[in-house]
């Protein structure tokens, strides 16, 4: 399933976001492996958000809610309407990340 960057509309495969993007960060492969086993709430704690941010990623409440991505032009701003829609859906489906991914894909978000 594909989801889209809120800022530049680049499509991202959810599998990549769930499993591969973490390996692009400065974490060691062992740390990145361990990250995948973390509960959802801990995957985006401040430490990991900072790691993602240094390589261009910014997420909402889950890694499939892409607010900024490595393809974003430097000064680009997120689309606020899309940002709000994704936040609302995330609140609605937050614990069901597969459902959220499917909904984002349905609405091309
Ligand atoms: Zn982007």
Retrieve residue 83's tokens.
């940002």
Distance from the CA of 71 to the center of ligand 1, in angstroms?
5
pLDDT grade for 58, boundaries at 50, 70 and 90 = very high
Q: Is the pTM of this model over 0.95?
A: no
Q: What digits encode the pLDDT tens for the residues 8-57?
A: 999 999 999 999 999 999 999 999 999 999 988 899 999 999 999 999 99
Alpha-carbon distance of 107 to 109, in angstroms, equals: 5
Pairing state of beta strands 58-59 and 66-68?
A: antiparallel
Contact 6, 59 (CB under 8 A): no
Distance from the CA of 92 to the center of ligand 1, in angstroms?
24
pLDDT for position 109: 94
Distance from the CA of 37 to the center of ligand 1, in angstroms?
26
């Amino acid at each position: 399933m594909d989801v889209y960057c809120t800022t530049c509309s680049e499509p991202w495969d959810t599998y990549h976001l769930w499993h591969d993007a973490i390996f692009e960060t400065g974490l060691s492969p062992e740390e990145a492996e361990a990250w995948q086993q973390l509960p959802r709430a801990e995957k985006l704690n401040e430490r990991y958000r900072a790691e993602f941010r240094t390589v261009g990623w910014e997420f909402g409440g889950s890694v499939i809610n892409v607010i900024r991505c490595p393809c974003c032009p430097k000064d680009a701003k997120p689309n606020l309407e899309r940002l709000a829609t994704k936040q609302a859906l995330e609140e609605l489906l937050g614990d069901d990340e597969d459902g959220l991914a499917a909904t984002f894909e349905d609405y091309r978000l």
